[in-house]
Structure 1
Amino acid sequence: MNSNLKSDFDFKIIHYRTDLGGKISLKRIFDLVSQIKKIKPDIVHFTGLQLSGFHIAVACKLAGVKNNILTIRGTSWDMLEFNPIKKILVSFIFEPLTMILCSKFYSNSKYTSSKFLMKLFNYKSLGWIYNFPPVEDFSKPLISYRKEWKLSKTDVIAVSVGRINREKGYHVLAKSISRLSDKKNLKFIIVGDGTYLEEMKKILSNQYKSKQVLFLGYRSDINSILRESDFFILPTLHETLSLALLEASKNSLAMIGSDTGGVPEIIKHQKNGLLVPPGNDKVLTEAIEFLSMHHGTRKKFGEYAKKRVDKYFSNEKIENQLRQLYLNEYLK
């Protein structure tokens, strides 16, 4: 936990071992029980539903933990690329059991807190607390990449960072990029790996050859890449709360995002970015073309994005919310 909360609380890490079997693992549960009993925590705070949350919730019960707080960042039912049978089992059996076993929970966005499962267990809800924004590492010097990428100062760079799969809408973005192949000064930077990456490269092979699209794969120097860019694109089909959008906001970038899930809690339409219908490549194309042509709008959106993320998603605000939550649970 890299926050000022360390000065108020003694945090200990419980290791969730994935090498102790797949699916439901009694070995994993008893390993978690053993760790918890050694630590003797006043509160166990864990993240996630699905099977990982179920394992930890059961272990807390067996270890006699009275206060265990669950952070929910989405449910299995929201996942598009998920085995249908496993989705049904996890959604209707294991996730409700996790909710029964936890003492309290909070969601990572207003959107997540409105889901049916959360409403069903509303009597345990602590509302929502946003995720910490990505840590800004200023110890590393920012690198200028335009020369390396062979891009001119007049080129407009649209960047997208994430897991490159269909669930995140990269097949939609690929269609939009294809529509914009005649915009020679508009360049696209795609950062990340995923199941759709190779297919996306094939679809955009001509744009890749002409240097209109660059695929950078996984990178650890995201801030440098964002600082070189002119606006950010999140084409996702569903999202509870996007850390990528928070990172873009920290770097004063105008944004285009799908009007779904928790995205509108970060992007305010026509203020710090543009919201588009998820899965609609035509409207996404129009939004990209609009921002690429209007430098003043990009600058205005980017400035508001930075102000908004600093106000509503600041480390200080989230730390205060968690501090109060821990004290309330400990003192009750």
Structure 2
Amino acid sequence: MKKEKSKGDLPVILIAFKEGGENGGPYTSHKRILNSINSDKYQLKPFFFPRSRVIFSPKGLKNLVKQIKAEDAVGMHIVGLQLEGFVAMIVCKLAKIKILLAIHGSEAETTNLNRIKKSLLSILEYFTVKNSDIVYGVSDYVCNWPICEYSKHMIGTIYNLPPLKKDCYLKSNLRKELGIKDDEVVVVSTGRIVKEKGFDILTDVIRKFSSKDNLSFIIAGDGDYKKEMECIISKSEMKEKVHFLGYRKDINNILSSSDIFIICTKHETLCMSLQEAGINGLPLIATNVGGIPEVFDESCGFLIENLDIDGFANALKTLKDNKDMRVRMGINAKNKIMSDFDSNAILSKLDQAYLMLIGKNK
């Protein structure tokens, strides 16, 4: 009789995390993977890259390589592209382990870098893709980027895992805690509060409304634009109607207390926040950019052109004034997310990718 392998005998695949990245989609995505896969063919372990710039020094790189070798890993599932992806690729190569690269974003899409920096970083991103053993994109939009053509083995799209069903549809007392009336329409936006994610646009959208409107806003997240946004809102007529919660782990609790989800991002490869809001049954308002149209269509909400402040405000007003539409679009969003982002199908694709990484599948 063949002896069953213990967990300690299985090939180790490291799942990369960036310290301090809890507020971002890649961190959440890898955390859900780690919590969802329990294989008898390999074991997954978290590996944390420090956020300190020490990792860019020879000593810092050497220490990371030493830590990886101590895990006796076969490969690592890293997040790219960008500078962090390049560093992860370098240390994996130095540690002589295989690389599964998930492309979540690119510096080419950022709006706050000059042309020279973008050009330099695009070269690093090319080397990251070129030197990774297996590559996938988190959306069809990403997989159509020209840089993907340089991959040794591009396996296509593997969407981010949606939240677990048990974590959704929660009963919450958040409205009561914030002093929001039961009949008030609550609009929520979550994520990194930075201009690239369109929170400067959302600020202007909020200012289109008055305190007389039956509308409150909840902003959950942190980022370098948060203080400026709070300052601007504090001087507006809506100052009593906007609640800044900071970084929160109970996002589903917040979503279950809300009526509408909005994100005014300027670029996006997929948007996990929309997945989370949709599966919680909220109608969606988002920018028509990148991979967002893969998440929902106009039966679930409104796709607004980039930087269109009036477009966002009009969509909010339409949903605010029409409860039946909110309910109908929310149901459609929930059904579409559950269908198009089926956890079992996504986990099956990830399992196949991990088996390729350890040489058990071609």
Using the size of structure 2 for normalisation, the TM-score is 0.83
Say whether the 8 Å CA contact 1:106–1:129 is kept in structure 2.
Answer: yes
Q: Does the 8 A contact of 2:206 with 2:238 survive in 1?
A: no
Q: Check whether the contact 2:188–2:261 (CA below 8 A) recurs between aligned residues.
A: yes
Contact 1:257 1:267 in 2 (8 A): no
Partners of 1:193 and 1:15 in 2: how far apart?
21
Q: Is the 8 A contact 1:14 1:32 kept in 2?
A: no
Task: For 1:162, give the aligned amino acid.
Answer: G
2:320 aligns with: 292
Work out whether 1:148 is the aligned partner of 2:177. Answer: yes
Alpha carbons of structure 1 residues 59 and 149: separation in structure 2 relative to 1, 3 Å = closer
How many angstroms does 1:55 deviate by? 2.2
- 1:324 is the counterpart of 2:357: no
Distance in 1 (alpha carbons) for counterparts of 2:315 and 2:276: 20
CA distance in 1, matches of 2:313, 2:169: 35
Residue 306 (structure 2) pairs with residue 278 (structure 1): yes
1:99 correspondence with 2:129? yes
Q: Which amino acid aligns with 2:261?
A: F
Q: 1:117 aligns with which of 147, 166, 170?
A: 147
Inter-CA distance 139–174: structure 2 relative to 1 (3 Å threshold): closer
Aligned pairs for 1:1-332 within 5 A: 1-19=34-52, 21=54, 24-65=56-97, 67-82=98-113, 85-92=116-123, 94-118=124-148, 120-121=149-150, 124-135=153-164, 138=167, 142-181=171-210, 183-205=212-234, 206-209=236-239, 211-269=240-298, 271-329=299-357, 330-331=359-360, 332=362
> What amino acid does structure 2 have at the position aligned with 1:29?
L
Please say if residues 210 and 238 of structure 2, whose CA atoms lie closer than 8 Å, have aligned partners that are also in contact: no
For residue 126 of structure 1, report the CA deviation from its aligned partner. 0.9
| SS of residue in 2 equivalent to 1:2 | helix
Letter paired with 1:249: G
Once residues 25 and 61 of structure 1 are traced to their aligned partners in structure 2, the CA distance between those partners, rounded to angstroms, is: 16
1:249-296: per-residue Cα shift (whole Å, max 9, x none)? 121101100000111111212x11110001110111111111111111
CA drift at 1:46 = 1.4
Are the structure 2 counterparts of residues 169 and 139 from structure 1 closer, same or farther at C-alpha, using a change threshold of 3 Å? closer
CA change 1:121–1:235 in 2 (3 A) is: same
CA distance in 1, matches of 2:147, 2:229: 35
Q: For structure 2, which runs of at least 5 residues remain unmatched after alignment?
A: 1-33
> Where do 5+ consecutive residues of structure 1 fail to align?
none
Q: Calculate percent identity across the aligned residue pairs.
A: 36
CA distance in 1, matches of 2:41, 2:347: 11
Cα distance, 1:16–1:218 mapped onto 2, change above 3 Å: closer
For the Cα contact (< 8 Å) 2:286–2:302, is it kept in 1? yes
C-alpha distance in 1, partners of 2:152/2:109?
Answer: 23
CA distance, structure 1, for counterparts of residue 245 and residue 71 of structure 2: 42
Q: Deviations over 1:226-271 (max 9, x none)?
A: 11111100111111111111110121101100000111111212x1
Q: CA RMSD in A?
A: 2.3
Q: How much does 1:83 deviate?
A: 6.1
Count of residue pairs brought into register by the alignment: 326
Q: Which shows bigger deviation, 12-21 or 124-133?
A: 12-21
CA gap of 1:288–1:20, structure 2 versus 1, over 3 A, is closer
Contact 1:184 1:212 in 2 (8 A): no
SS of match in other structure, 2:162: coil
Superimposed CA distance per residue, residues 15-71 of structure 1 (whole angstroms, 9 cap, x where no aligned partner): 32344615x332233223323333333332211222322222222323333x32111
Conserved in 2, the CA contact under 8 Å of 1:188 and 1:213? yes
Cα separation, 2, equivalents of 1:272 and 1:140: 18
> Judging changes above 3 Å, is the alpha-carbon distance between structure 1 residues 100 and 141 closer, same or farther for their aligned structure 2 residues?
closer
AA aligned opposite 1:150: G
Question: Is the CA contact (8 Å cut-off) linking 1:291 and 1:298 kept in structure 2?
Answer: yes
